[in-house]
Amino acid sequence: MREFTPKQIAKYKRQKYLSALNKCTTNLYKMFRNSTTNYENYKNRFITLKKEIEKFDDVIISSEYVKRTQEYIDNLYTKTVLHPLTEQEFKTLQEDEVPKLNRLQKMKKKTKYSKEKYNSVIF
């Protein structure tokens, strides 16, 4: 059986952590956009996603996007799951959170592609 180096294991954990964060934000976005989502379904799904992220608590990534995403998820979890909401409060929350998730996605896309990198190249 193959032995993995600590560096390979750390890379694998980082990838899994980033994948779990992206999965969480994507699922939250879909739940907030869907008008048929109720608070109980949201709560159960969010708890499952949060547990998946918490498996990788020892992973440290210094990216601004990752830090903001983790802060957002932690704040949202505290605000919605630890303090139960009524259906009306949940509906207003749905409307308020979609723009915040959009901003996180823009931040992610901004770090993926930078025009400046290609401006210095002469063809």
Distance between CA 88 and CA 105 in Å, rounded?
A: 27
Angle at 17 between CA 31 and CA 14, to 5 degrees: 155
Sequence ranges of the domains in the chain: 11-107
Distance between CA 63 and CA 51 in Å, rounded?
A: 22
**pLDDT tens column, 19-39:** 999 999 999 999 999 989 999
Give me the pLDDT at residue 122, please: 59
**pLDDT tens column, 48-83:** 999 999 998 888 888 888 899 999 999 999 999 999
Cα separations (Å) of 99 from 2, 35, 65, 123?
A: 46, 16, 16, 39
